[in-house]
Amino acid sequence: MKIWIVNPFDNLPLEGYRPMRYWLMASAFAKAGCDVTYWTADFSHANKAPRRLSAAPEEAPFRLRILHEPPYKRNVSLVRMWAHWRWAKEWRRAAAAERPPDVVVVSTPPLAIGGEVRKYAARTGAKVVVDVMDDWPGTFERVAPRPALLPLRALARRNVRAAAAVTVVADRYADLVRGYGFAGPVKRFYHGIAMDGPAPSARAAGAPLRLAYIGSLGRTYDLKTVIEALALLPGATLDVAGEGEQLESLKALGSSARFHGYLPESELARLLSECDVGIVPMEQASCVGVPYKFADYARAGLAIASSLGGESGRLLARYGAGVAYRGGDPMSLAAALRSVASRLPAVSAASRRMAEAEFDAGAIYSSYVEFTARLARGGGLDR
């Protein structure tokens, strides 16, 4: 089976970062003997700068095509949408020179590339799997009136309804897809993570909590509340591994928080192994279902403190893997952290069990390969 995987913004191991969804997916297809091409961009969404590769693309275990994308500074902006549109046009030109694949897996977001893949498939007969990572354009409703987003919603609907199958990273997106009128197969595959990594460090009884936050410092992440909660927890510290537009304003708050920037995979794994609690400080308006952070924290055996309700909250409750708190309320977060500190070993073990049961990349992406292979063969798929 010849397969293309199309996503411009996941971090790459060739940059030193841990493998993310589409790299893990491409690796699983390659391991199964498929002819795999992974299409990505030369611009780092994480760092908002050109990608800096520490190894040549030829060292990937599959064919890696890196196409030019213009820069942008903010996650939610018209400039980002324009940059993705330009990258989609680059992909269209490059794809036209290739022999068509059997299946194209394309992420949404972005939306522009979904439109180009849809048109390409109509010309060539390739089957399309749309992989829904987020609700675009729903996430833009925080900054734009809903009527202005109707053309983007129409594009999202066309892209989904033209797919042979849809995969989603959280159950909430399955409802979104059905709301678009898609009647074909929809299957959920959580973000996976390789289950190896350093074991959590031993923690002295009664020691102050060490908190961790990893990922974007964009405006949908309420780290100000986390830093304010530190003042209510004597001795507690916060390690922040990420970059984004809030970085300087968060540093200006003054606290025991330590800012590391984005860390290479080995350093990030070591940092998490030394921490106690991973923070998921999402704004209530966020459209996120189950974020990447859940997998990273759970693999490291961190208790999770999350302001996300819905599917994320149900996962934490089912496994006893962490605590919920009210977003924007530092007193609520401090109280939640005190409650978890008294039972940290049990919660840590539960978090690791959640990782093994829900986020094991080996199980998730081998199942993704089987799902897609049945689609390519024309076999029946679960709906």
Looking at the structure, tell me whether residues 266 and 122 fall in a common domain.
no
Assess if residue 59 is contained within a domain: yes
Look at residue 204 and tell me if it is in a domain. no
Regarding predicted confidence, which is higher, 36 or 142? 36
Which residues are bridge partners to 282 per DSSP?
221
- Mean pLDDT for the stretch of residues 5-33: 95
Using 50, 70 and 90 to split pLDDT, how confident is the model at 143?
low
Q: What is the pLDDT of residue 253?
A: 86
Residue 368 and residue 299 share a domain = no
Residues 145 and 51 in one domain: yes
Segments forming the whole domain that contains residue 136: 2-192+360-377
Q: Are residues 259 and 153 in the same domain?
A: no
383 within a domain of the structure (yes/no): no
Q: Write down the mean pLDDT value for the chain.
A: 91
For residue 295, give the CATH number of its domain. Answer: 3.40.50.2000
CA–CA gap between residue 321 and residue 318 (Å, rounded): 8
One domain, residues 127 and 215: no
Q: Please tell me whether residues 224 and 368 are part of one structural domain.
A: no
Q: Is residue 336 situated within a structural domain?
A: yes
Same domain, yes or no: 351 and 214: yes
Residues 38 and 75 in one domain: yes
Q: How many domains does the structure of the chain reveal?
A: 2
Question: Which of these, 246, 311, 307, lies nearest to 278 by C-alpha position?
Answer: 307
Contact 303, 323 (CB under 8 A): yes
The Cα 173–Cα 289 span in angstroms is: 8
In a domain, residue 123? The reply is yes
Domain assignment of residue 200, yes or no: no
Among 85, 88, 94, which Cα is nearest to 64's?
A: 94
Q: Is the confidence at residue 290, as pLDDT, over 70?
A: yes
Residue 127: per-residue pLDDT:
96
Antiparallel, parallel or unpaired: β 277-280 and 210-214: parallel
Co-location of 42 and 176 in the same domain: yes
Do 54 and 153 belong to one domain?
yes
Burial (0-12, 13-18, 19+ Cβ within 10 Å), 165: buried
Same domain, yes or no: 112 and 171: yes
Q: What is the pLDDT of residues 40-95, one digit of tens each?
A: 999 999 889 999 998 888 899 999 999 999 999 888 788 998 999 999 999 999 99
Are 63 and 186 within one domain? Answer: yes
Tell whether the model's pLDDT for residue 370 goes beyond 90.
Answer: yes
User: Do the domain assignments include residue 42?
Assistant: yes
